[in-house]
Amino acid sequence: MDLTNLNDLKSLLGKFRIQLSEKLGQNFLVDREVLEKIVASGELKKNDMVLEIGAGVGTLTLELSKIAGRVVAFEKDRKLLQSLELVLRKFKNVEVLIEDFLEFDLQNHLPPTTHYKLISNIPYYITGQILRKIFSAKEKPSLVVLLVQKEVAERIVAKPGNLNMLALSVQFYGNPKIISVVSKESFYPAPDVDSAILKIKVFNKPKIGAGSVRVSSAKNGTITTSEGSISNGVNEKNFFRLARVGFASKRKTILNNISSGLKIEKVKTKKILEKAGIDPKFRPQELSFYDWERLLNEINKNEKQG
């Protein structure tokens, strides 16, 4: 049985009288080439542990199970359990959990210091929630490969000029890259949008403090950096609090957003921005990742000085 073959998939669905749910985002992959690209992007080894969210009928689960040492597959829809059991019956290295991943206590299920990869064709409507959950967990994956909406993938890999809160939230923890764009015709039933394979190489430590940063021009905020992932003691909670304030209004300047959001006088805010090498007239999406880091450091210095 080849579940990327539409006739085989329909036969399996008919066997168990499964009606697909649009509400649960059930669009199953029927493209063998895309499936192979997802698996290859996972750089799997025989001792790897893999989490999969939204196992569906087991199309991706089956391929992961052939390579990885252990696969833990989450599927919220109980009516898919019989099909999963049939498809995966020969594999003893798979654990299927009929659970809502977003409500599951992942920390208690995974032993401390567990190294794992997350590889999934996820329900698109919960992409942001999934990313928040995995990156806020104590034990984070070493690698993430997700099939997501193309537009969302493009937002996540955005660079200064188009940076956004979602991109900043992911790039804090890892380096995202679009592997391939996937046509809506690669799914059954076909969704309304195209998709993309998104790969995120997760840092050992948050990106904050990475490398040496030189401000080449305080006027235009241009910076050069060397890559790294060494923590500089910047508080993660404060970093995202600042980012939320900074992105409160993308049409306003960073000067106005920070001044009003943190209730700091404009004259003082302007000085803080200039010390951080940031043009006060910049809008939040124009700042680089390292601009945000330096801005937080300057705000912390200002608070200490009273």
121 assigned binding-site residue: yes
Q: Give the DSSP letter string of 129-183.
A: HHHHHHHHSSS--SEEEEEEEHHHHHHHT--TTS--HHHHHHHTTEEEEEEEEE-
Distance of CA 189 to the CA centre of its chain: 25
Residue type present at position 197: I
164 assigned binding-site residue: no
215-242: pLDDT as tens digits:
323 333 333 333 333 335 567 889 999 9
77 assigned binding-site residue: no
Closest CA to 303 of 253, 262, 257, 243: 262
284-305: pLDDT as tens digits:
999 998 899 999 999 998 887 7
54 assigned binding-site residue: yes
CATH code of the domain in which 123 resides = 3.40.50.150
Distance in angstroms (rounded) separating the CA atoms of residues 140 and 133 = 9
Which tokens is 165 given? 């809160």
CATH code of the domain in which 257 resides = 1.10.8.100
Distance in angstroms (rounded) separating the CA atoms of residues 219 and 237 = 29
235 assigned binding-site residue: no
236-284: pLDDT as tens digits:
889 999 999 999 998 999 999 999 999 999 999 999 999 999 999 999 9
> How many separate domains does the chain show?
2
Domain that holds residue 290: 213-305
Distance in angstroms (rounded) separating the CA atoms of residues 282 and 285 = 8
pLDDT band at 22 (very low <50, low <70, confident <90, very high): confident
pLDDT at 305: 73
User: Does the residue 207 lie in any domain?
Assistant: no
Q: What is the separation, in whole angstroms, between the first and last Cα of the chain?
A: 69
User: Does the residue 141 lie in any domain?
Assistant: yes
Q: Is the pLDDT of residue 213 over 60?
A: no
Tell me, yes or no, whether 217 and 196 share the same domain: no
User: Does the residue 1 lie in any domain?
Assistant: no
75 assigned binding-site residue: yes
pLDDT band at 200 (very low <50, low <70, confident <90, very high): very high
As to burial, measured by CB atoms within 10 angstroms (0-12 exposed, 13-18 middle, 19+ buried), residue 74 is buried
Tell me, yes or no, whether 240 and 124 share the same domain: no
